[in-house]
Amino acid sequence: MNSFPPHRAIARRDLLRLTGICALALAGAGAPVRAETAPPRVFQVRIENRKVIAPVGPIRVKRGDRVELRWTTDERVEIHLHGYDRKLTVRPGKPAKMVVQARTAGRFPITSHGWGSHGHGHEALTYLEVHPR
């Protein structure tokens, strides 16, 4: 026997629908501000003598961050951000910018794919570390 009066009875499908709506609302309640609208995390990355001298150590961000890497160099170099498959050529006296949405957590090497007009290097210059929120 139903303990609710007939006019207050809830159909099972309506109860499931209401439960789903509540779950979606709760999931969105703690969601971070969309990274596309938030200002980017900007890092000035300086290369001298084929080494990153600033910043010292890996570049650390949170998953969801929009990251802007501003590169300067004293020698032409092709930069490759592994895992996100982003490539960029940086020339002396011409700062270059690499923008990436940090969607995947992990430690990603940023390597050189050749210096100057000859040779093919593949040395890790630094790392992009994307930490979970």
Q: Where are the domains of the chain?
A: 41-131
Evaluate if residue 112 carries a pLDDT over 70: yes
The residue count of the chain comes to: 133
pTM reported for the whole predicted model: 0.70
| C-alpha to C-alpha distance for 55 and 126, rounded to whole angstroms | 9
Res. 30: pLDDT tops 50: no
Query: Which CATH number describes the domain made up of 41-131?
Result: 2.60.40.420
Measured between alpha carbons, how far is 25 from 42 in angstroms, rounded to an integer?
A: 32
**Mean pLDDT computed over 44-63:** 96
